[in-house]
Each structure stands twice: as structure tokens, then as C-alpha cells.
Amino acid sequence: MTSQLLETSESLSPHTLLDQVLSNFTGRCCITCSFQADDMVVLHMLRRRLPEIPVIFLDTGYHFPETYSYRDHMSAAWKLNLINARSEVSVAQQESEFGILNRTDPARCCQMRKVEPLMAALENFDVWFTGLRREQSPTRRDLKKIERHQLPTGRSLSKISLLADWKWAQVAEYMSANAIEYLPLYAQGYSSIGCEPCTSLPANPNDPRSGRWSGQKLECGIHTFSTRVK
């Protein structure tokens, strides 16, 4: 990572920033993908340059059937190098030992089924692309397009959020211009889509994440448990 790129990254368009990152960074790249529209836009950009880029999907065992179906459809259509990151504990084992954590302790459920599998999967990579945008949540307001993150093991990698300064209208415009199919749940009114038990229609139409975790929290933790290195 060059100091010049860090200084200029915030003013660069996603395509220009992507080209600069791939020119200046070394090591293995990956993208985390929930198959929501933001991630699909970044994945579309990446595939033009890195057709075999590993695509990490956090398979919690609790996703909507529509999400699994769309994941399989797009993985086949785009010939994705898909990695399904899963907890070492099955859903049945977890529920047998701890009960229905998504009801009683959603933070612990997310830790077991999302955070821990992702932190383990990222150990194999040096550059991590995301579809995060500042507009999505107050917890993402200070998101930088390029950040250096340290995993719980102490290993560091670069986290790249190409769309950090994009608005939803720009995401929708890109999806339309490139004829990218949407996850069908959007058509049902969902605006932020996670695990089925913890996702409902948005309570506030101006807050896309107001349908997550019944308002109990804003993040599952996968973007907060790695430490941003200043």
C-alpha cells in the first residue's frame, strides 16, 4: 500500500480505485458476498479483472431459501469461485446445546455463525473487498475506502470498500445498466437482508437496516471484530 494511494483513494471512482489497488497491492484477494445488491456490484467489477477471485459467503444455516437459491443460481451463471464459510458447530448442535440463540442472544449467534467463520476464512488472504457503504448504517459512517485491519490472530490484511461513498441510487443504476439480477427478496420489500429469523421488512422506510435484529443492534459483528489499524 503506497501513501500516495491512501491519500488519493477517497477521490477515486470505484473502477479507478480498483485498478490502483490491483496495481499496488500484492497477495491473495477475496470478496465477502452476502449476494445483496451492493456486493453484487463489487463482485461484477472484480470478475472483469479477477475472474477466479474467491467469493466468501457466510453460510449460517439460517438464510432465507431465496438467498440460497439466488446464491446457487448466480454462482452457476457467473462461474464463481465460491467459498461457503460455516461454523464448526452445526445449527442442530447449536440449538441442542444453547437453544434458539437468534431469539435469546443474537450477538452470540452472530459470533458463532458469522464472525468466527469469517475471521478464520480471511486468514488465507491479504486483500479483502467488501460492498460496504457509509450510507448503510451510522456504524459505517466513518468507513474509509482503504483500511488496514488486524484479525484476532494478529495477522493483518487490507480491507477495500470500493462503494464507500456511493448512494443506493448509484447501486441501483449500476445493477440496471449491467443487467444484474436482484436477490428476489428486494421485490418483497426487504432492503437489508441477512438471516431469515433476524430479518423483517424495514420499520423505517428511510433506514434500510431498521428491519434487522428487531432493532436490537445494527451490526452482526463481521465488520467490527477485526481491528482497524490506524
The secondary element (H helix, E strand) that includes residue 229 is strand 227-229
| pLDDT digits 0-9 by tens, 16-74 | 999 999 998 889 999 999 999 999 999 999 999 999 999 999 999 999 999 999 999 99
Q: Quick check: 210 pLDDT over 80?
A: no
| pLDDT digits 0-9 by tens, 142-198 | 899 999 999 999 999 999 999 999 999 999 999 999 999 999 999 999 988 999 998
Note whether 36 and 192 are within 8 A (CB): yes
pLDDT band at 221 (very low <50, low <70, confident <90, very high): very low
**Residue 138, domain CATH:** 3.40.50.620
DSSP-derived letter for residue 184 is G
- Assigned domain for 51 exists: yes
Lowest mean pLDDT, pick from 40-49, 75-84, 166-175, 200-209: 200-209
Note whether 200 and 211 are within 8 A (CB): yes
- Assigned domain for 181 exists: yes
- Assigned domain for 133 exists: yes
First-last CA distance in the chain:
13
Strands 227-229 and 146-150: antiparallel
pLDDT band at 136 (very low <50, low <70, confident <90, very high): confident
Mean per-residue pLDDT over the chain, rounded? 88
CA angle 222/167/137 to nearest 5° reads: 35
Distances (CA, A) of 217 to 48, 62, 91, 103: 36, 18, 22, 13
pLDDT of residue 211: 55
Separation of alpha carbons 186 and 193, rounded Å: 8
Residues with catalytic roles: 220
3-class SS of residue 147: strand
Angle between the N-to-C axes of helices 37-47 and 14-24, in degrees from 0 to 180, rounded to the nearest 10: 50
3-class SS of residue 95: helix
In this predicted model, which residue has the larger pLDDT, 203 or 65? 65
- Assigned domain for 168 exists: yes
- Assigned domain for 106 exists: yes
**Burial of 182: CB neighbours in 10 Å, binned 0-12, 13-18, 19+:** middle
Q: Which domain holds residue 141?
A: 3-225
Q: What are phi and psi of 109, to 5 degrees?
A: -60, -45
- Assigned domain for 230 exists: no
pLDDT band at 206 (very low <50, low <70, confident <90, very high): low
pLDDT of residue 111: 92
pLDDT of residue 218: 47
Query: How many domains does the chain fold into?
Result: 1
Note whether 119 and 152 are within 8 A (CB): yes
pLDDT of residue 217: 44
DSSP-derived letter for residue 181 is P
- Assigned domain for 154 exists: yes
